[in-house]
Amino acid sequence: MAKMKKFKKGEIAKIILATIGIGAILGGTVLITPNFPIIIGSFIKLIKEIKGIKLPKLKVKRTLKLLEKRKILNLVIKNSEVYIEVEDAWNIEILKYSIQSLLAMRKKLKWQGKWFLVIFDVPEEQRNKRYYLRKFLKEIGFYQYQQSVYVFPYECEKEIILIKKIIEGGKYLSYIVAEKVEYEDKLKTYFHLPI
């Protein structure tokens, strides 16, 4: 059931970008055309459907205008309706918030007792890509197990494939499924899993 709540600064923008990205990643929604124009009213319904959050139309319009200024999307008036057009559904910001949301949804599932690891070995001369990958993986919800080893407790192969395709340095990522890892209790505490 959708809920009304107070939003922190920037939170509505994250919700909007995540909804655009989830629609593009999952497919099968009205968002799946290269420049998917969608009426604002329909978009608010889509947010409710995907994120389970009811957003006030005025706040959505205001946030969309800010995102237009940042050149992430365009607002176009056609037949007295305001449409949202997205130049690039794979914009790095859209991708980050949508993957973050998809992984957060996984956390509501029952844990199957496996660990999903992402490891990378970025050459020293490209260390800026290494720093970026670390930051990105932390931001989307992974636990830093070692310098270049990150862990998540739910299956996330599709998201990692997407990251590999889109993020610079993604080609250095490898995905591993593990039945057991050392210091598991620390991970369980971090992800709020039963010990």
pLDDT at 87 over 80: no
H or E stretch covering 48: helix 40-51
What residue segments make up the domains of the chain, in order of their start? 11-93, 107-190
CB within 8 A of 41, min separation 6: which ones? Answer: 57
Backbone torsion region of residue 166, taken as left when φ is above 0, otherwise alpha when ψ lies between -120 and 50, otherwise beta: alpha
pLDDT in tens, 62-80: 999 999 999 888 888 887 7
Average pLDDT of the residues of the chain: 84
Please state which of the four CATH numbers 1.50.10.20, 1.10.10.10, 3.20.20.60, 1.25.40.10 is assigned to the domain occupying 11-93: 1.10.10.10
Q: Please name the CATH architecture into which domain 107-190 falls.
A: 2-Layer Sandwich (3.30)
pLDDT at 61 over 80: yes
Query: pTM (2 decimals)?
Result: 0.75
pLDDT in tens, 147-189: 999 999 999 998 898 888 878 788 899 999 999 999 999 999 9
For 137, phi and psi rounded to 5 degrees? Answer: -65, -40
Q: In sequence order, what are the beta bridge partners of 176? A: 117
Confidence of residue 4 (pLDDT cuts 50, 70, 90): low
pLDDT at 24 over 80: no
Q: What amino acid occupies position 130? A: R
What separation in angstroms does the CA of 49 have from each of 53, 140, 145?
Answer: 8, 21, 34
Confidence of residue 92 (pLDDT cuts 50, 70, 90): confident
Strand order of the sheet with strand 73-78?
Answer: 38-39, 81-86, 73-78
